[in-house]
Amino acid sequence: MTRVAIVTGATGGIGREVAERLAKDGLTVLVHYAGNKVRADEVVETITKAGGTASAFQADVADETQIEALFDEVERLYGGVDVVVNTAGIMLLAPLTELKLEDLDRMHRTNIRGTFVVSQQAARRVREGGAIINFSSTVTKLAVPTYTAYAASKGAVDAMTLTLAKEMRGRNVTVNAVAPGPTATPLYFEGKPQAVIEAASKAAPLERLGQPDDIAEVISFLAGPARWINGQVIYTNGGVAA
């Protein structure tokens, strides 16, 4: 039986790489997108041209009705779901004293509520032997100024992940989170001075920024052979923090 994956935020830098990597691993992929259908169709086309199977579905990750419809669609098309990867997220930066509360609410809605809503459906529907993989961030450890609200949202993802892993007892479904460090994506580069980017590229002992395929490689491991890794936050950052 072909395994099936849902990847939320699959048009982003990391999300797209994850969707394409899982397809390369032989999984059928449902490419979730929030609003950019053109980019979602590009991901589907890339996968299908390489011999894989994929389709796209639009939904607001924080809307439980739309996410329920997404899971209904993957079951209708492919018979079920085995892997759910929550890459969807937003990052809005400012010192705590200056952050607009509407920005806090936006991050809460996508990063916390969105992860919760998708995880709720995943916990109900992922087949035996499957995996739920959330996205945290290394900034929960680094305590970088201006990242207060974003790091707090990812700290909530950590808590959800570790607890859900225990709630899935008896289902043979693993639940983990991946916590990237600085990774070369448009989301990371947006608004950052070149000096900050250069400093970040030297922070890891490997002296470079992470690449989306570095993160996708870990997702591939957690989605497939890594059955004894469960209830963990995996810091995928080249050694910036552990």
The number of beta carbons lying within 10 Å of the beta carbon of residue 48 is: 13
Please measure the distance between the N-terminal and C-terminal CA atoms of the chain and give it in whole angstroms: 37
Residue 53's nearest CA partner among 74, 79, 35, 27 is 27
- For the question of residue 33 being annotated catalytic, the response is no
**Contact (CB, 8 A) for 157 and 85:** no
Q: Is 140 exposed, middle or buried (0-12, 13-18, 19+ CB in 10 A)?
A: buried
Report which of 58, 49, 51 is spatially closest to residue 30, judged by C-alpha positions: 58
Specify which residues 45 forms β-bridges with.
Answer: none
Task: Map tokens 């779901």 to a residue.
Answer: 81
Query: Which of 133, 187, 131, 182 minimizes the C-alpha distance to 158?
Result: 133
Cβ contacts of residue 214 below 8 Å, gap of 6+?
Answer: 183, 236, 238
- Helix, coil or strand: residue 42: helix
Q: Which residues pair with 7 in a beta bridge?
A: 31, 85
**Tokens coding 8:** 């939320």
Q: Which of 33, 78, 147, 150 is catalytic?
A: 150
Residues identified as active-site: 150
